[in-house]
Amino acid sequence: MIGIYYLLCAVGAGAVVATGLLLNKKLPTKLNIALKIFSLALAAALFFRYMLGTDNIANVINLQPGYGFGSSGIVAMAFIQVWFAYAAEMLLILAPFFKVRTLPALIAYLALPIFVLNTFLLPNHVTAILGTDALSTFNVRAMLLGLETGLGLGLAITSTFVNIKKIHLYKTEWVWFALAAVGCLLAAFPSYGLQLFLDPNKYTMNPKDLNIYHRIILYPMAIIPVVLFLLLRTKSFDTKRFALMYYAWLGLLNFSFYHRFADFFGPGWVTALPLHLCNTAMYITPLCLTFKWKKLFYFTYFINVLGAFLAMVIPNYSNTTSIVSISIWLFYMNHYQAFYMPLLVVGLGIFRRPRIKEFKYSMVGFAVYFVLMLIINAWFTNYNAGVDYFFINSNFIADKLGQWAERTRDIVWSFNIGESVFTFYPLYQFLFFLVYVLLAFALWFIYELGYNAVIGWLDIAERNKKIKVDKLALEVRLAGRSIEEPMNMENANKLILKKFTKRYGTSDVYAVKDADLEVNGGEIYGFLGPNGAGKSTIIKSIVGIQTITDGSIEVCGYDVATQSVMAKRQIGFVPDHYALYERLTAREYINYIADLYEVSKEDRDERLTRMANRFELTQALDNPIRTYSHGMKQKVTIMSALIHNPKVWILDEPLTGLDPTSIFQVKECMREHAEAGNIVFFSSHIIDVVERICDRIAIIRKGQIQCVRDVHEMEKSGTSLESFYMSVINGGDVEPIAVEQAKRDEDDRPSNGRRRGKGKTEAKQ
């Protein structure tokens, strides 16, 4: 019969290779479709061969010869053939459906050698699966195995030939290839592998009740998902989905060791059905990943994860057992997967993090499942007293909780339908359901905390990495100068935006697009625009609260992106919504800000006294800020922004809520600061104030700078700023202002840059 098996192997391999050669020359676009069909044929052969019976080699213990194997070496070789074949077959089944960089190399350097080996040693492989009888007598499973081997060999040869240019790996890619190859083999490790190499009788212990053995088994539950997440988090979506599907389908293959056709249709079928909650996860996860069933996935996310966790913490196997036995290995491997696979699927972004809607749908699904299990348990108990799906028919859970839980089972509802007796424990089972739903809801918050913690940690790591790279780049650009010196010395008294662009997250809408501004020392510069136009976005990016998507910002020659600390030292910022430490006094708070900027005691005392007198806060300086009015708090914010005498004073709606006297004081302060050669840059909706105090203004609309105008030249031309502003924000044409383009001389503009009379106009359309 071995000749027939080889014939099937040759037919399978020949059909795939011939199809590949033909289509690759004439219809290369159809080749992938053909490979998908052959991969599905391989999946079907594997499925029926596996489900129609058990593996003969699973009976071998501690490499003892027998069951058709003449020596320990032959046993070991047969096991490697079976083990590696599962890994290679799953690679070839999934490969045509994904575009993963390392996949062609895995097929060429891992799958192809495995199938070449299994082709030459096909009799040993048949013995491993079916025993020696299949070598001499007709056996359907052996024929399927021969076909499997041929299809696998053909797919591996064809894939390698077609992707010959893609199998070359660079140095760093070899590391990922090695990790992927090891991961593939570990995922395919058969459930009987440990007991095949070790004697179960020597490893008998009680791994329960959170003793040392139990805890050692539980530790991988926390380690494996972290390792997988770190390895996959930076990979492409296809790579992540491929890896998770590969693991999920091999997990289902291993799980099916005790759930084959004979188990479903044999005398013990009523207890063999995979209806336990964690059993359902083994089917749901690979199916949801394969067919993108999002709604069904969230059932396993909320329900199965909790069930798997509780099952591992409170296992239901016997107290004394072997930790290398098939049953223990399957118990933990399956529950590991049911526990962390859904979390990995969400964590890696295959499916989005759920919202309350998904939770509600999952609870409805759980209610349906729970009622169904109640009925099946009550019904099937008539045929087998051991039926206890989800442990809601026995006192297994109640026994762990104590007498109070046991007493809830005293309320019994029983009735007959024909000869069948249906027994329910309504109070116990209702409380069981309710507590489970509450636990699922509570764990949802734990999941979210975990995701946020990981995202925060990764963000910090990425930021630290970027800081190091930026520091090196900055040192190169400074060419030996101190990193505390401005990048551009010629712009030491300017605020400059060059093609500044800001986009939040992955949104396609730009908050600000290609903004160009140049503000000179000695100017009061007004920034106008309707709500949502992008004013606050630009201001927050200048002061370093938000990152820059594209373009650049310079503050007194310092690049905001690469010299952020030094840039911030040049700035005094008055936000539109201030936040003060209101338990402090004004003096304590302003001194705290002065400490941050390393202002000397003499300078801070002189400035604080002067500003307190101006803003009429001298008597209130030592009162807690929480006792201040809104206007007083605004003044404290302004004073703290000026305590270090910044070269650039930025104010975002500084006059909102102030009385006329306070507005006058702030305007005078702005004039004085600009006349000292500093920059005053502020946004406001009060057009009259802007028109009276500003030298130049910029108007922004829908994230784009519409124009820059000289206020004094507008005044000379008889143009009202209010009417001009309304025309611009309503989308009207902006007419250029005819002004003299004469150069400013020393009589027009003093050295501090502040305008005294007629000067050069900078007007931009």
CB 547 within 8 A of CB 541: yes
pLDDT for res 38:
95
* 159 and 232 share one domain: no
Instruction: Give the C-alpha separation, 437 to 447, whole Å.
Output: 15
Q: What's the confidence (pLDDT) of residue 736?
A: 43
Which pTM was predicted? 0.71
Q: What CA–CA distance (Å, rounded) separates 685 from 695?
A: 16
Same domain for 320 and 420?
A: yes
Domain ends where: 415, 449, 480? Answer: 480
Is the same domain home to 88 and 195?
no
Does residue 743 lie in a domain region?
Answer: no
415 φ, ψ to 5°? -155, 165
Q: Which domain holds residue 447?
A: 191-480
Distance in angstroms (rounded) separating the CA atoms of residues 712 and 744: 14
**Alpha helix stretches (DSSP H) within 256-325:** 261-265, 269-272, 277-291, 294-299, 305-313
Asked whether residue 328 falls in the same domain as residue 411, the answer is yes
Helix (H) or strand (E) holding 704: strand 704-710
Residue where a domain terminates, one of 480, 495, 519: 480
Based on the domain organization, do 159 and 205 belong to the same domain?
Answer: no
Position 47 scores a pLDDT of 96
Same domain (yes/no): 145, 243:
no
Identify whether residues 135 and 246 lie together within a single domain: no
Please indicate, yes or no, if residue 228 is contained in any of the structural domains: yes
**pLDDT of res. 750:** 42
Residues 6 or more apart from 370 whose CB is under 8 A from it? 390, 392, 433
Gap between the Cα atoms of 114 and 83, Å rounded:
10
Return the pLDDT at 203: 82
Please check whether residue 487 lies inside any domain of the structure: no
Q: Which residue has the tokens 């996935």?
A: 297
Structural domain contains residue 630 = no
Give the pLDDT confidence score for residue 251 in this predicted structure.
93
* Boundary (domain end) residue, out of 462, 480, 498: 480
Residue 196 lies in a domain: yes
Percentages helix, strand, coil for the chain (3-state, rounded to 5) are: 60, 10, 30
Please give the backbone phi and psi of residue 706, each rounded to the nearest 5 degrees, phi first.
Answer: -85, -40
pLDDT in the model for residue 213: 82
For the chain, the residue count is 765
Establish if 646 belongs to a structural domain: no
For residues 145 and 222, membership in a common domain is answered with no
C-alpha 574/C-alpha 593 separation (Å) is: 13
Identify whether 128 is part of a domain.
yes
- Same structural domain, 100 and 223: no
Question: What was the pLDDT predicted at 734?
Answer: 53
**Nearest CA-CA partner of 85 in 122, 58, 48, 54:** 122
Which among 644, 663, 646 is positioned nearest to 655, based on CA atoms?
663
Residues 213, 155 share a domain: no
Residue 42 in any domain: the answer is yes
Asked if 370 and 433 sit in the same domain, the reply is yes
pLDDT under 70 in the chain at which residues? 319, 732-765
Same domain, 160 and 241: no
Catalogue the long-range contacts made by 203-210 (C-beta closer than 8 Å, 24 or more residues apart).
203/322, 203/323, 203/324, 204/320, 204/321, 204/322, 205/320, 205/321, 205/322, 205/323, 206/319, 206/320, 206/321, 207/315, 207/321, 207/323, 207/328, 208/315, 208/317, 208/319, 210/313
Output the DSSP codes for 583-616: TSBHHHHHHHHHHHTT--HHHHHHHHHHHHHHTT
Domain count, the chain: 2
> What pLDDT does residue 732 have?
63
